[in-house]
Amino acid sequence: MIDRNARGSANRFLLILISAIAMLGVLGFVLFNLGRQSMPVTQGAKDENSKQSLFLYCAAGIRPPVEEVAAQYEKEYGTPIQIQYGGSNTLLSQIDVGKTGDLYIAADDNYINLAREKGLVKEAIPLALMRPVLAVKKGNPKNIHAIEDLLRDDVKTALGNPDQAAIGKTTRKLLEDSGYWDRVQGHVTKTGVFKPTVPEVANDVKIGSVDVGVVWDSTLPLYPDLEAVRTPTLDAGTGSVMIGVLTSS
């Protein structure tokens, strides 16, 4: 259980976000019911609640569902929500330096564990699992079907920066385990690009500045011009989205 000091606006938003991600098909129903259960019972309490605000650090790759929930929450409770998006590791560094904020959503549970070790998070709950995939344009014009294709001279690749984004860290680990990392890293350094967030990787594929990128499978529905190519190497890994209540809350 989250302790009493963590309850209130942060706790209510946490409950709503968990429910929304788990049941996107009934988002409105969940928000209405959870919001009503948490609604202040007096006008004075309501006025006090409306003056509060929340600060949320959120992995950029899951921005759309979080923004949807945040908008609904603000409408329901009148509580402003400020959201800082970025790579999971970049956000963790900002939390460590600033020691401010209420909630932290990371695209990999390793970052939540690090935050706990640093004393930055007092409670955490898993939200969802994601898998890395190759993202290519619809129709796969370059016929990219395997990690080996990322080494072709006619293929430009975008990867998440392993030191900034969870997708980059996961990609590096999977390619190290399969013996591809050194070659892929070298090829991307010469002809491709490393990006700090998943959306930036996907956008590069979308606009054609690269031919392929590694993104989370949950990212692709937001890019109708792209399609996923699954490979055994990437299927071996997952990203566990987790939300943590910050000790500064």
Name beta bridge partners: 228: 135
Domain boundaries, the chain: 4-129+240-246, 132-235
Give the pLDDT confidence score for residue 38 in this predicted structure.
41
Predicted local confidence at residue 187, as pLDDT: 98
The predicted pLDDT at position 51 comes to 44
Same fold, 4-129+240-246 and 132-235: yes
Q: Which class is 4-129+240-246 in CATH?
A: alpha beta
pLDDT digits (tens, 9 = 90+) for 128-144: 888 999 999 999 999 99
* Residue 229, pLDDT score: 98
Instruction: Identify the pLDDT of residue 30.
Output: 29
Coil, strand or helix: which one is 45? helix
Give the long-range contacts of residues 45-49, CB within 8 A, separation 24 or more: 49/8, 49/9, 49/77, 49/78, 49/79
The runs of H, that is alpha helices, within 153-211 are 166-177, 181-191, 198-207
**Antiparallel, parallel or unpaired: β 226-229 and 103-106:** unpaired
pLDDT at 71: 86
pTM for the complete prediction?
Answer: 0.73
Task: Assign domain 132-235 one CATH number from 3.40.50.261, 3.40.190.10, 3.40.50.800, 2.40.50.100.
Answer: 3.40.190.10
Half-sphere exposure of 158 (CA within 13 A, CB side): 23
What does the pLDDT profile of the chain (249 residues) look like in tens digits?
Answer: 444 444 556 665 665 565 555 533 332 332 333 334 344 434 444 444 444 778 999 998 888 888 888 888 788 778 788 999 999 999 999 999 998 988 899 988 899 999 999 999 988 888 888 899 999 999 999 999 999 999 999 999 999 999 999 999 999 999 999 999 999 999 999 999 999 999 999 999 999 999 999 999 988 888 999 999 999 999 999 988 888 889 987
* Residue pLDDT, tens place only, 68-110: 888 887 887 787 889 999 999 999 999 999 989 888 999 888 9
Question: What are the start-end ranges of the H helices in 23-165?
Answer: 27-38, 43-50, 63-77, 88-98, 109-117
